[in-house]
Structure 1
Amino acid sequence: MPSEFSRSIKFGNITYSLYSHSFLHFGQNVAHESLRASLVKGDFSPAADSLHKEMYLDPCTPKGYFPESSNLSLGSVAEKSKYISEFKARGNFSECRSAALTLLQKGKERCSYDHCYLGSVFMPKLRGKFLATENFFYTSKFFRLRQRAFLSDLIMAGKHFCEEDWSKLKKKHQSLNEEDLLRYCFSSAYIVALLHDSLEIALDDE
């Protein structure tokens, strides 16, 4: 392990070598905002959608959703207005997962190690159990997944949510803040793209 990522901790007579690194901008909320910014740039427009090249096709937003300027963190008023007028919610889990993976792998061409799981940063292969915290936990709880759920369970739940009509989702989850509810499509796809597509955790690994 490269020395800049290694930390030694001793418990009793045993010394452990721990990997330590802070992955800035990889949090789900920040990543979601990065996706929106990338949509404006046209980074995730499939070639098959050439007829819609003047629109922002968002695969991570359920169909039927229309954004409001107050909910956007984009720059100028003009930029927000342009985004709203040309925005189209696509609601496609597979495409959202692909877009999330693109974000996670950004900069990988600059990797100077044998293998980089996320971008250009060294990271050892994961071993042992994964403990879900914060948004990982909240997403699993929202979809009512069991404590030791498979990633394949999350794929099914995320696919159903992403491809449902926004009006039906709002009616079903009336107690949730709209902006929070909106994030669960991206959140489910992002978790799969991170844990399975990037970190290579098996879909049937508990």
Structure 2
Amino acid sequence: FEDIKNFVSFCSRNILVILGISCVIAVIALIAVGISHNKALTHNVKYGIVLDAGSSHTSLYIYSWRAEKENDTGIVQQIEECKVAGPGISKYFKKTHYISIKLTKCMDRARKVIPMSKHQETPVYLGAGEDMRLLRMESEQLADRVMAAVIRSLSDYPFNFQGATIISGQEEGAYGWITINYLLGNFIQKSKWLKEVSEGINHKKTFGALDLGGASTQITFVNEKYTLVSPENFLPFRLYGKDYNVYTHSFLCYGKDQTLWQKLAKDIQVSSDGILSDPCFHSGYEKIVNVSDLYKTPCTKRFKRTLPFDQFKIQGTGNYEQCQQSILELFNTSYCPYYQCAFNGIFLPPLQGSFGAFSAFYFVMDFLNLTSEKVSQEEAIRRIGSFCSQSWKVVKTSFPEVDKKQLSEYCFSGTYILSLLLHGYHFTSNSWENIYFMGKIRGANTGWPLGYMLNLTNMIPAEQPFSPPLSHSTYMFLMFFFSLMLAIAIITAFYILNNPSYVWEEMIQQ
């Protein structure tokens, strides 16, 4: 009898140990299955690099987006910006080997920001803008030499180099239009927008885009009623499952820098003593200009004359009205083969909706304190007129930290922007209220590179997101099985511990 009792006790203890081990195994299994199935999945992130080779400098932008996309277009965000030291690439046509040296720092930065495992699949694109378009007008051979040096340099990096091209003015305008509408949430619904940008704005329609560089200016907006009037000025896009047909035109030589050269070349023709009294510069301002520099750009060729001097002196007189009159002489409004034109015989459909003005539009107007609040057209004219009327001595004292060359040209640039918008693009006192001067939106730069990257994602095949390690049915089965196992083990152990005598009697009877 004693032996049987000891045997039963031994068996009971072993059963409880086995049940305990089963409980532990079941708990561990439940935790492991739950964690592995429900842990946050790593998104299949793609990267892209766009280099914007502009007129004054080159900027590198790094973008990322999830490979699974949204209606065939990537949800792209800017994650890095790097400014390449030195001027724009067009300035290196005599010393093209410097291009590779200048690009090194920013390309090495891209190596560090983008995971090494993604290097080979990351596309790299360089787009050269207005200054390279001018260089190509002057000499295709020189432009080809510069672009060849760029291609050699970028091909040496471990990325997927897609090419370097001189983008057209239309592309520059259209991609800028894509950028600001994407950042404002006009293509896809976003949960939050910047209050200072979005407040009071109707997002049901797209914004128009106004871009101003050193050599060209672009206007782009949707107005599909007039696509047949001048089809060469319209470009089609498909973004986030919707088709767009946008009007866009680029006015080469009408960027703020080249327009100034044009104005000087026009005005100096009437001077016989090499003195140019210029109302677009502050009174007391003086500058010597080489005639050879004046005629170096293709934009001034139409004004080229044999002058009786090699240099001339600019003497500022600081008068807004006279400055504007001189600028307007550069706009040919006497000829229009359509029922409505901007200037120089270029078709411009009726303006529609709100407009985002960026690049030099923003930088100049921001300096003149015309972007922090909604300023009427009349007030903008008054403020710029007041600024132009100040003496050069007062202006230098008021802005000691600003580069003197840039500071001296703000009167001209502000007057030119108003002239372009009001007389070139025909904004009225009412439609002026629909212009929003924009620098960055949600931390991303306005301009064509982001728009280009968004459009490019349409051509990159979408990929499936990373899947959980277990299918839903397998996950549910394992969770049920181990839960049942745990429940049976706990109930059995509880029963044995609470009824030891009954179990013992049953064992004895047997």
2:278 matches 1:58: yes
1:112 maps to what in 2? Answer: 337
Q: Please give the secondary structure, in 2, of the residue aligned with 1:23.
A: strand
2:413 pairs with one of 187, 190, 193? 187
Q: Please give the secondary structure, in 1, of the residue aligned with 2:237.
A: strand
CA shift in 2, pair 1:132/1:20, >3 Å: closer
Residues of 1 paired with 2:365 and 2:408: CA distance?
Answer: 15
Residues of 2 paired with 1:152 and 1:15: CA distance?
Answer: 38
1:200 maps to what in 2? Answer: 426
Which range moves more in the overlay, 10-19 or 159-168? 10-19
How much does 1:69 deviate?
A: 4.2
Check conservation: 1:155, 1:188, Cα contact below 8 A.
Answer: no
How much does 1:202 deviate?
A: 2.3
How much does 1:15 deviate?
A: 3.4
1:98 pairs with one of 313, 325, 338? 325
How much does 1:154 deviate?
A: 2.1
2:247 maps to what in 1? Answer: 19
2:387 maps to what in 1? Answer: 161
**Higher Cα Rg, which structure:** 2
Amino acid at match of 2:398: K
1:34 pairs with one of 227, 242, 262? 262
How much does 1:9 deviate?
A: 2.7
Check conservation: 1:6, 1:18, Cα contact below 8 A.
Answer: yes
Amino acid at match of 2:360: N
Residues of 2 paired with 1:135 and 1:14: CA distance?
Answer: 30
Check conservation: 2:282, 2:389, Cα contact below 8 A.
Answer: yes
Residues of 1 paired with 2:365 and 2:389: CA distance?
Answer: 18
Deviations 1:44-84 (A, max 9, x none): xxxxxxxx8754221101110110348x93259x8453x12
1:175 maps to what in 2? Answer: 401
Check conservation: 2:281, 2:411, Cα contact below 8 A.
Answer: yes
Amino acid at match of 1:166: W
Residues of 2 paired with 1:80 and 1:174: CA distance?
Answer: 32
How much does 1:110 deviate?
A: 4.0
Aligned residue-pair number: 191
How much does 1:20 deviate?
A: 2.3
Check conservation: 1:56, 1:88, Cα contact below 8 A.
Answer: yes
Residues of 1 paired with 2:262 and 2:364: CA distance?
Answer: 19
TM-score (norm 1): 0.81
Residues of 2 paired with 1:195 and 1:75: CA distance?
Answer: 27
- Stretches of structure 2 lacking an aligned partner (at least 5 in a row): 1-226, 297-307, 434-510
Which range moves more in the overlay, 149-158 or 130-139? 149-158
CA shift in 2, pair 1:131/1:147, >3 Å: farther
Residues of 1 paired with 2:339 and 2:309: CA distance?
Answer: 41
1:139 maps to what in 2? Answer: 364
TM-score (norm 2): 0.35
Deviations 1:27-50 (A, max 9, x none): 1111111111111113xxxxxxxx
Structure showing greater relative contact order (alpha-carbon pairs closer than 8 Å, 6 or more residues apart) = 1
Bigger fraction of residues in strand: 2
